[in-house]
Amino acid sequence: METQYGDLTLTTAQIQERLNLVPEHSQSIAALQQAILAFVTSEQVQTLISTALANYSTTSEMNTAINNAIASALTSYYTKTAIDTLLGNKVDKVSGKQLSTNDFTTALKNKLDGLPDASGLATQVSSAISTALQSYSTTTQMNSAISSAITNALAGYYTKAQVDAIVLSQTNEILFLNRALGKYNAVSERTLSQDIAGKYVNVNGQVVSASGYGISAQVSLNAGDILLVPSAQAVPADVSVVARKITNTYDKVITYTYTTDPETGRYLTATADYDPTLVYSAIYDGEGTFLYWIYNGVQYTQLPATRHVTESLYEPLVKQAVSAMPDTGYYVYLCPQGMDVVVSGLTATVSGGVALIVGLGVFKNIATNFLGAIGQSVVAQAFAQIFGNIDGIIENLKHMGSFKVTDIDCENMPKVCGYPLVVEGAGAPSIVPRFVGQRYHDTTNNKCYEAFAVTNNVNNWVLLN
Statement to judge: residues 52 and 40 lie in one domain: yes
Q: Same domain for 208 and 319? A: yes
Check whether residue 47 and residue 163 sit in a common domain: no
Q: What CA–CA distances, in Å, run from 72 to 10, 68, 76?
A: 18, 6, 8
Q: Residue 403: what are its φ and ψ, rounded to 5°?
A: -145, 155
Task: Name the percent of the chain lying above pLDDT 90.
Answer: 17
Q: Is 103 inside a domain boundary? A: no
**Is residue 6 domain-shared with residue 43, that is, in the same domain?**
yes
Over residues 430-440, mean pLDDT: 84
343, burial (CB in 10 Å: exposed 0-12, middle 13-18, buried 19+): buried
Q: Higher model confidence: residue 197 or residue 65?
A: 197
Q: Tell me: pLDDT of 305 over 50.
A: yes
Residues 208-247 pLDDT 10s: 999 999 999 999 988 777 788 887 677 777 888 899 988 8
**Domain span holding position 152:** 143-181
Q: Classify 46 as helix, strand or coil.
A: helix
Residue 370: how many CB atoms within 10 A of its CB? 13
| CA 233 – CA 229 distance, rounded (Å) | 12
Average pLDDT of the chain is 74
Mean pLDDT calculated for residue range 145-161: 73
Model confidence at 296, pLDDT cuts 50, 70, 90, reads: very high
Q: Is residue 247 part of a domain?
A: yes
Tell me what pLDDT residue 377 has.
46
H-helix or E-strand spanning residue 177 = helix 171-181
- Given this model, what pLDDT does residue 243 score? 92
| 434 lies in some domain | yes
Q: Classify residue 46: in a domain, yes or no.
A: yes
Give the pLDDT score at 23. Answer: 59
Distance CA 320, CA 328 (A): 17
pLDDT at 5: 45
> Could you tell me if 188 and 365 are in contact, meaning their C-beta atoms sit under 8 angstroms apart?
no
213 and 325 part of one domain = yes
Quick one: pLDDT at residue 281? 94
Report yes or no on 82 lying in a domain.
Answer: no
Confidence of residue 328 (pLDDT cuts 50, 70, 90): low
Of 404, 426, 455, the residue at which a domain comes to its end is 404
* Domain match, 245 and 313 both: yes
Question: Which one of 71, 99, 122 terminates a domain?
Answer: 71
For residue 399, what pLDDT band results from cuts at 50, 70 and 90?
low
pLDDT tens digits, 253-267:
999 999 999 988 899
Tell me what pLDDT residue 374 has: 46
pLDDT at position 32: 63
Lowest mean pLDDT across 15-24, 120-129, 188-197, 402-411: 402-411
Long-range contacts of 431-435 (CB under 8 A, 24+ apart): 431/458, 432/456, 432/457, 432/458, 432/460, 433/460, 433/461, 434/204, 435/204
pLDDT at 192: 94
The per-residue pLDDT for 416 is: 62
Q: How many domains does the chain have?
A: 5
Do residues 325 and 394 share a domain? no
- Asked if residue 192 and residue 177 are part of one domain, the reply reads no
Mean pLDDT of 160-172: 60
CB-based contacts of 464, cutoff 8 Å, min separation 6: 257, 258, 447, 448, 449, 450
**Spatial CA neighbour of 193 closest among 326, 394, 405, 347:** 347
Q: What is the pLDDT of residue 376?
A: 43
| Cβ(69)–Cβ(1) below 8 Å | yes
Higher-pLDDT residue of 94, 110: 110
- When pLDDT is averaged across residues 152-161 and rounded to a whole number, the result is 72
- Evaluate whether 420 touches 405 at the Cβ level (below 8 Å): no
Question: Residue 369: its pLDDT value, please?
Answer: 42
Is residue 276 in a domain?
no
Same-domain status, 350 and 386: no
Mean pLDDT of 418-445: 84
Q: Give 192 or 119, the one with higher predicted confidence.
A: 192
Q: Tell me what pLDDT residue 334 has.
A: 79
Average of per-residue pLDDT across 23-44: 62
In percent, how much of the chain has pLDDT > 70?
Answer: 63
Query: In whole angstroms, what is the distance from residue 55 CA to residue 157 CA?
Result: 129
Q: What is the DSSP string of 288-340?
A: S-EEEEEETTEEESS---EEEEEEEEEEEEE----TT--TTEEEEEE-SSSEE
User: What is the torsional sign of CA 387, 392, 398, 403?
Assistant: negative
Coil, helix or strand for 186? strand
Q: Is 323 inside any structural domain?
A: yes
The H or E element spanning position 410 is none
Residue 35 phi, psi (nearest 5): -65, -40
